[in-house]
Every structure is written in structure tokens, then in C-alpha cells.
A and B are shown apart, each in its own frame.
Chain A
Amino acid sequence: MRPARWVSSSAGFVFLLAVASWAAAAPPVLAIDTALFLRSESAEPPPDSAPWRAQALPDNWKKSRPKAFGYGWYRLTFELSAKPEAPYAIYTPWMRTIGAVYVNGTEIGRTGAFGTPQLSPYPQVFVVPPNLLRAGENTLHVRLFVGDAWRGALAPLTVGEDTAVRPLYDKRYFVQITGAQLSSALSAALGIFMLMVWFRRRTESLYAYFGVGALGWAAMNALYLVRDPILNRDCLEFLLAACNGTSTVCLSLFALRYAGLRWPRIEKALWAWAAVQVALVFVESDAPWMMVLEKFLDYSRLALIAAWLMLLAHASRKRPGLERALVLIAVAFFGGTIIRDMIAGELLGELDSTYQPYRAIPMCIAIGWALVDRFVHSLNESERLNAELERRVAEKHAELELNYGRMNELERQRAVAAERQRIMSDMHDGVGGHLISTLSLVEQGDLTAAEVAAALRECLDDLRLTIDSLEPTEDDLLPVLGNLRYRLDERLKRQGVELDWRITEVPKLANMTPRNVLHVLRILQEAFTNVLKHAKASNVEVETGVDAAGEHVYIRVRDDGCGFAGDRAGHGFANMRRRAQVVGGALAIHSSPAGTTVSLSLPLQPIPHSGDGRAYSRDTAKAA
């Protein structure tokens, strides 16, 4: 994986090597690096008798004749063994700012209009018609125009057959122009992409700084390549200075952010430095302070570049291996090519660096990779967090389920305990009581067999009512009443009591828990017991209905018996009232010699604190 990336990232250099080997295979050519030079405004090649002086090529005017501008002539000679058959060509990597070439006194081409200087890094090639050349010595003249304050220079000239010279030109053109354009485009694209990233993530100014830096750098490179500037020199220089300054400052700030640093004062100072650099474009002065300032700016730019490169290299130590390697390579390449260009410029008089257009490519790759790495990392992180979150949710879910299960179990146990309590208290009040009183009567020997049988039947009926009350009733009163009747029917029949069953549908009742159902049953059972034992009635009517207010359901048991006086069966009535109170209902008893009416009314709406049965438990505890 890693070697494959290395190969792809160094594909450009491999390609350059291929271009070089292709040039080497061409026929021999003649490189001319010595010339004679003459400052002259003449529009035609000056005569050989003029005061020519020897001049080595490349000739950089900034070094050989500082602050000079205007026209100059170069005279070069070369030998041909025979008059050539094939077309010849003359190639030079740079001819600045405007130049014209003469072969044996005849002009064969020029690079532009004299008088309008250009910032042109383009290589030049001129085709020589074969009839202009001759066997023996041939003379070349180059007329060069250097604009005021423009960088004038002439590189060595190469003469040879067109087929041999052309590849040299093509190679130079590809490396210097096409490659630079591609590099600019790449850098610009990355810059725009980074700005888009920043646009969606405003808090990360890192991306904005790198975006602007890369765009500035791309613009600067593109401006160098403008062939026929529509802008004047001041404008161009202003733009170049602006792009250069912005780019340098932004890349420095990027390096700071990359290292996780924020130095507001130094950052302000950097912007001030860029502003001075741009402002200086408009200052036309040869004053000594100006020279000092220019020098200062030049060196400070180098220092600044060195500083942010070192900062990047330093900050990369915390980053993952591949990113670190890429950043270090990018820093080394960036810094290395600057140093190389400075040395080449000083020692060899080279005007254009071969590496300058490519300087930022490794940086773009490294930073692009860093961005991808961050992106992937945050994706992975968010996936991890999601998984973590899911895991926690599942954990909580399991915990809740466990708690729910425990609560259910507790609730179940509570319900079982409550039910046991209910049955116990019912047995205690009902069948237990009956059995004990029957037993004591039997022991006293006061009862006939028929009376014992009747008492025991009563016990059984009681027990059956308890068992029936275990059935879920779903708040429906009628099955409860129906069952009571079913259980009592036989006794009523035996005593010859006619039952008028006037049961109608009633709304569902609140609080019809099994415990409360049993209370209602016991109340009615007691009422019937009174009828059977004491009333000597011949008719009993049971009626249900809803009261006028629509808030209560009533159950009325009316007999035509003898009624009762005073508090006969007072204890039984007290029990009935207590039970009625527990279920949230009310009991009304009217008795007269013409009969007795027991009316139980039960609420349709739940009544708080009265029907929950706990009060009954306490009551029975007291009663017990």
C-alpha cells in the first residue's frame, strides 16, 4: 500500500526523467555560451568594428549591468562544415524581456513588440531558413530590449537541425509552462475544495487559511505565465505582491493552526508585513532606506517560509505515520528547492527555477492527505460513537427490562399477598365463623340433625361464594349478582320464598377488584340471610338501576316480611355498613312491619382513599 503511493506521488519526476532521456537521443546540437555584447540603440546589427565586449551566457542584466535598461546587442558565431540541407532552429530557454534574432544579418524572428516589456518565462525557438546558413563561420545577432526595472537576461543559445533542437524547446516548454499550469490548476482546485470544507465547518479556520494560501499561490504562478499582459506593470506587480504576501501569511497561519497554536499579535504582525510588501510596489524610490526595506522584506519572507516549514515539520510529529512522512517530504522539498534556486540564481545566473512551479505539489498532497485522514478519522469516530451509543442504549434497555421484571415480580408477590389476605379475612369472617358457631351449638347438643345440616349447608354456600369471588369479574356487577342468586336459589325455594329478579344492564363500576366484589357479595348475602332467617317473607325483590344523578348504581333487596325493631341483628348491619364504606358505597336500610328494604349504592367513578381496601384490612385487623 505504502510503496504504491510513493510510486504515484513521484510519477511526475519519473516523467521528467523520461523527457530528459528522449532529448538525449536526438542528433548533436551546438550550444553557444559565449558572446560579444554591445549597448546600442541601433535597430540593425551593429558592424563588427563596433566596441563589442566579451560576455558569457547566461547574461543576467541585474548582475552584469545593474539598473541598466534599454537596448543591447549580442554577437555569437558558430561553424558549419557544410551548408545544411535540413531546416535549422535556434533555441534558448529565456530571452528577456523582448528579443529579435538575426542570422548572418537577416532577422528571423522576434519575441514581441520592442518597447513593451513582458514578464515572460517562455522558452523561445526560431526556425532558420537553410539558405541563410553557409559552410564555415555563421554569425548570430540578438537584439535585446530590457524595460525599466524589468529583469533582462539572455540564456545560452542552442543551434542545430530543427528536429534536434525542437525537442529541447518542447521539453523546456512542458516543464516550465504546461507543468506549471497543471500545478497551478491542482493547487487552485485544492484551495477551492479547502474553502468549501471551511464553509461548512467555520470553526476550523485551518482549512480557510490553507485554501486562501493555495489559491494565492496558484494565482501567483498563473500571473507569471500571462503571455501578453493586459495589465500594466504596476498592476501586475501589485497583484503578484498581493498574491505572494497573502499566500505566505495564510500558509504561515495554516502552519500555526496545524500545530494547534494561536498567536494573535504575531498573526497581526504577519498581515502588516504583507501589507507593507504590497504597498512598496507603489513606491518609486532609490533611497537607501528603500533598499534596506526591500532587503528586509526579501530576507523576512525567506525567514517566514523557513519558520512555517519548521513549524509544520514540528507539528507533524503528533500526526499519524504516513501523514507525518508526507508533511516532512513536502517541507523538505519546499525548503530544499528554495535553497537550490537561491544558489542557482546567485551562482549560475539562472532566472527561472525549474522547481518553483512544482514546489507546492508535495505540500498539496500532504495537506490533502491530512484532510482526508481527518475526515476518515472523524467518520470512524462517529461510527464508533454510534456503536457505543447503541451499546449503551442496549445496556440501559436490558437494565430497564431487568428492573421491570423485578417490579413485575414484586407486584405479583404483592398481588398474591393481597389475595391471600383477602381470602384469609373472608374465611375468617365467613365460613370460619359459621363453622365455629355451628360447632359450639352442636357441642351444647341444642341442635337437631336438620338444624346441623342447615348450618353446614350455610357454611358450604359461604365457601362457594368465596370460591366464586376468585373469578375475574372485569368490573361487571351482573355475573356477581347472578351467581349469588344461583347459590341462594335452592334455599329460597326450600323456604317457599318467591324471588323477583329485576336485574337490568348497569354501567361498569369503578373499583370492582376481587376484594370489593366479595364485599358486595357479603353485603347482599347478609341481606338475604336476614330475609331467610328472620323476616318470614314470602316475596323478595332484587332490583338494580342507576340513580337519578347518574353517579351511582343501586342494588335493592326488598322483602315483604315482618321487618325488625330496634337493633336486632345490629352487628350484622354494622358489618354490612363497614363493607359498603370500604367499597366506596353507601348502605340504606328501611324496615317496617310491612317489610325491609336494603339498598346498596355504588359509585360509578372511583372515589379516592375509600375503595382501595387497605382501610378494610385495618378494620378487619381491629375487628379480629
Chain B
Amino acid sequence: MATVMVVEDDPAFLKRFCGIIASDPDLELFAAVSDCASARQALASAAPDVLLTDLGLPDGSGIEIIREASRRFAATDIVVITVFGDENHVLAAIEAGATGYILKDSIPEQFVGLIKELRAGGSPISPVIARQLLKRFKAASGQESARPTEDAGLSARESEVLSLIAKGFSFGEIARVLGVSKHTVTTHVKKIYQKLAVHSRGEAVYEAGKMGLI
């Protein structure tokens, strides 16, 4: 049983998400709110297993909620809700600490499947995002080659996974190519997300700039 909290200012979608959660026996609604203030209130004393949040909220940016939640609740999986899954929104959210994203028009099976994948330690990713991540880490390792921090760079296997994803291969196909399980591939992706978030924590100012876009 996983508790899920939804932050979404569009009442129709909020209702839709709540309905999906209610209809799955493995999920339990933690809270359903439509702005930052309510979200903070809901998160004041306890944490959900999964936090779903939109970015454009009436009283602020979902990025702030993501950042706060990721700092306070290491065990919570944070998922950003996006219309297009475009890299500007998704990367900003990942840098703030999200480990997944979901398209707003996802059908219930996708929605539930994603939450279960996250709980199992995996993360979703698109080829465009994979490509952007590869670029980010390449630039970062170029800049910080003198600093021996492990999380600044990707391992060889992680790079391989990212570049295969960028070429459109599915997790299953990648698992076959690398001779590992599909689950291992998705946990690689989650680790990569976490590395980006750790790496980006030092660039909070850069984040603030990004928020102008959101």
C-alpha cells in the first residue's frame, strides 16, 4: 500500500487523479490540494510515499514544493505532472529533486504503472530527456574534472543506458542488450536523476532563473 498526494490546480484533473488512486487497491490518497500553501500544510507533519505535483500553481511554483519535499522526505518519490513532457519542465523538476514525470493525459493504467515502477525503485525517461541529461553531465564533468566527487559524473553503465534511451530503445530492449533485468535499467535512471539533483543543489540560483520559464 502506497500513500499518494496530488497537487493540481485544475479541478477536473485533480478529480481524475483522485479517482484513479481510489480505484486501485494498492494506492491510498494522502492528500489532494490545489495550491502551494495547502500543499505545505498537508506536508507539515507527515509525508506521503508518492507526491504528484503540477508546476504552475496559483500561488507559486511546484518546483518549490518539489525542492522542499525532496529535502525533507528522502523516502518520498516525487513526480511532476506535465502536459508535454518537454525538457524545460522535466529537467527543472528533476534538478529540484523529482525522480519521475507523468503526462497529464495519461490513461489510468499508465498512471498506476508509473507509481508502481517508482515504488519499485525505477524512473521513467524519454529520449529527449536522456539526451539532455547526457549533455548536462558531459558539461559538468568538463567543468569539475578536478573535483573528485562521485555523484558529479555518470558511471560508464549509466552513460550507456542514457545513450540507448536517447536512441529510442525501450527499457526491455536495453535490458536485453546489457544482459540485465528491466528493473535494473529503471533503477539506473532513478540514480541518474538523483545525481542530477545533487549536482544541481549547488546551482540554486540557476534554478531561480529557470522558474521564470515555468
Residues of chain A at the chain B interface (Cβ within 8 Å): 457, 460, 463-464, 467-468, 471, 478-479, 481-486, 489-490, 501, 503
Q: A479-B167, A481-B168, A482-B167 are in contact. Are A464 and B84 (CB under 8 A)?
A: yes
Task: Find out whether the CB atom of B131 lies under 8 angstroms from the CB atom of A468.
Answer: no
Q: A464-B85, A483-B127 are in contact. Are A478 and B170 (CB under 8 A)?
A: no
Contact with A along B107-145 (1 / 0, CB 8 A): 000100000000000000011101110000000000000
B contact residues around A471 at 8 Å (CB): 87, 128, 131-132
Given contacts A464-B85, A482-B165, A482-B169, 5 further A-B contacts (CB under 8 A): A467-B84, A478-B167, A479-B167, A483-B168, A485-B168
Task: Find out whether the CB atom of A482 lies under 8 angstroms from the CB atom of B168.
Answer: yes
B contact residues around A485 at 8 Å (CB): 127, 168
Beta-carbon contacts under 8 Å, B75-110 to A: 84-87, 105, 110
Q: A457-B105, A460-B105 are in contact. Are A501 and B128 (CB under 8 A)?
A: no
A contact residues around B132 at 8 Å (CB): 471
Distance (Å) between the CB of B171 and the closest chain A CB?
11
Closest partner residue, chain B, to A500 (CB atom) = B173
Expressed in whole angstroms, the Cα–Cα distance for A485 and B127 within the complex equals: 9
Expressed in whole angstroms, the Cα–Cα distance for A467 and B103 within the complex equals: 14
**Residue B52 lies at the interface, judged by CB distance under 8 Å to chain A:** no
A contact residues around B86 at 8 Å (CB): 464, 467-468
Expressed in whole angstroms, the Cα–Cα distance for A460 and B132 within the complex equals: 22
B contact residues around A486 at 8 Å (CB): 126-128, 168
**Residue B166 lies at the interface, judged by CB distance under 8 Å to chain A:** yes
Distance (Å) between the CB of A495 and the closest chain B CB?
14
Between-chain CB contacts (< 8 Å), 26 pairs:
A457-B105, A463-B84, A464-B86, A467-B84, A468-B128, A478-B168, A479-B128, A479-B131, A479-B166, A479-B168, A481-B168, A482-B165, A483-B126, A483-B127, A484-B168, A485-B127, A485-B168, A486-B126, A486-B127, A486-B128, A489-B170, A490-B110, A501-B169, A501-B173, A503-B167, A503-B169
Task: Find out whether the CB atom of B166 lies under 8 angstroms from the CB atom of A482.
Answer: yes
Task: Find out whether the CB atom of B170 lies under 8 angstroms from the CB atom of A501.
Answer: yes
User: How many B residues have CB within 8 A of the partner chain?
Assistant: 19
Task: Find out whether the CB atom of A478 lies under 8 angstroms from the CB atom of B166.
Answer: yes
Expressed in whole angstroms, the Cα–Cα distance for A481 and B86 within the complex equals: 16
B contact residues around A467 at 8 Å (CB): 84, 86
Expressed in whole angstroms, the Cα–Cα distance for A224 and B21 within the complex equals: 129
Residues of chain B at the chain A interface (Cβ within 8 Å): 84-87, 105, 110, 126-128, 130-132, 165-170, 173
Expressed in whole angstroms, the Cα–Cα distance for A440 and B30 within the complex equals: 42
Task: Find out whether the CB atom of A503 lies under 8 angstroms from the CB atom of B168.
Answer: yes
- A-side binding surface: helix, strand, loop or mixed? helix
Expressed in whole angstroms, the Cα–Cα distance for A464 and B127 within the complex equals: 13
A contact residues around B126 at 8 Å (CB): 483, 486
Expressed in whole angstroms, the Cα–Cα distance for A460 and B104 within the complex equals: 11
Distance (Å) between the CB of A491 and the closest chain B CB?
11
A contact residues around B170 at 8 Å (CB): 489, 501
Expressed in whole angstroms, the Cα–Cα distance for A532 and B105 within the complex equals: 20
Most chain A beta carbons < 10 A, residue from B127, B165, B169: B127
Expressed in whole angstroms, the Cα–Cα distance for A463 and B105 within the complex equals: 13
Which 5 residue pairs spanning A and B have beta carbons closest together?
A482-B168, A482-B127, A485-B168, A478-B167, A483-B127
Most chain A beta carbons < 10 A, residue from B126, B128, B165, B168: B168
Distance (Å) between the CB of B126 and the closest chain A CB?
5
A contact residues around B127 at 8 Å (CB): 479, 482-483, 485-486
A contact residues around B105 at 8 Å (CB): 457, 460
Expressed in whole angstroms, the Cα–Cα distance for A514 and B173 within the complex equals: 28
Closest partner residue, chain A, to B134 (CB atom) = A479
Closest partner residue, chain B, to A456 (CB atom) = B105
Task: Find out whether the CB atom of B168 lies under 8 angstroms from the CB atom of A501.
Answer: yes
Expressed in whole angstroms, the Cα–Cα distance for A467 and B84 within the complex equals: 8
A contact residues around B166 at 8 Å (CB): 478-479, 482
Most chain A beta carbons < 10 A, residue from B105, B110, B128: B128
B contact residues around A489 at 8 Å (CB): 170
Closest partner residue, chain A, to B127 (CB atom) = A482
Expressed in whole angstroms, the Cα–Cα distance for A457 and B106 within the complex equals: 10
Expressed in whole angstroms, the Cα–Cα distance for A468 and B90 within the complex equals: 13
Expressed in whole angstroms, the Cα–Cα distance for A98 and B157 within the complex equals: 119
Distance (Å) between the CB of A297 and the closest chain B CB?
93
Expressed in whole angstroms, the Cα–Cα distance for A478 and B166 within the complex equals: 7
Task: Find out whether the CB atom of A483 lies under 8 angstroms from the CB atom of B173.
Answer: no
Distance (Å) between the CB of A53 and the closest chain B CB?
116
Most chain B beta carbons < 10 A, residue from A464, A468, A482, A501: A482
Expressed in whole angstroms, the Cα–Cα distance for A489 and B165 within the complex equals: 13
B contact residues around A479 at 8 Å (CB): 127-128, 131, 166-168
Most chain A beta carbons < 10 A, residue from B84, B131, B170: B131
Expressed in whole angstroms, the Cα–Cα distance for A501 and B127 within the complex equals: 14
Expressed in whole angstroms, the Cα–Cα distance for A346 and B55 within the complex equals: 121
Distance (Å) between the CB of A528 and the closest chain B CB?
13
Closest partner residue, chain A, to B106 (CB atom) = A490
A contact residues around B87 at 8 Å (CB): 471
Closest partner residue, chain A, to B131 (CB atom) = A479
Expressed in whole angstroms, the Cα–Cα distance for A460 and B82 within the complex equals: 12
Expressed in whole angstroms, the Cα–Cα distance for A463 and B82 within the complex equals: 14
Distance (Å) between the CB of B5 and the closest chain A CB?
25
Distance (Å) between the CB of A37 and the closest chain B CB?
112
A contact residues around B130 at 8 Å (CB): 482
Distance (Å) between the CB of A135 and the closest chain B CB?
114
